[in-house]
Amino acid sequence: MSVVASQASPTTLIQRFVFAATEADLASARHWAETLGVPLAYLYADNADLAEVILAFGLLPETEQRRLAAELKVRVSPPTARVRSARGTGTTRRTA
């Protein structure tokens, strides 16, 4: 994790690099993310909590990212989608 990223909010980071009347283009944003050592999505997070989740997720190995992403999809899917999904895989899943 970058020292700069851990001490500033995503909003502050964007404001440091983007002038008030212009939007950051994707190439510039990618460069800033690489320079800061953070995922690109971190710079566009809507709030500090989401930014921290994005930063932590980016530090995980790819296999762990896939596992966590699948787990989160199940947690946020509507109960009917969970049941339908479980039926399609041949497994039984309880819904909350």
Name the residue ranges covered by the structural domains of the chain: 3-59, 61-96
DSSP structure class, residue 37: T
Single out the residue of 56, 15, 57 nearest to residue 32, CA to CA: 15
Would you say 93 and 85 are in contact if contact means Cβ atoms under 8 Å apart? yes
Q: pLDDT by residue for the chain (96 residues), tens digit each?
A: 454 555 667 676 666 666 544 555 788 888 999 999 999 999 989 999 999 999 999 999 999 999 999 999 999 988 776 666 555 555 555 554
pLDDT at 27: 82
Nearest to 33 by CA among 51, 47, 49: 51
Q: What is the pTM of this model?
A: 0.55
Per-residue model confidence (pLDDT) at position 21: 40
Q: Which pLDDT value is given to residue 57?
A: 96
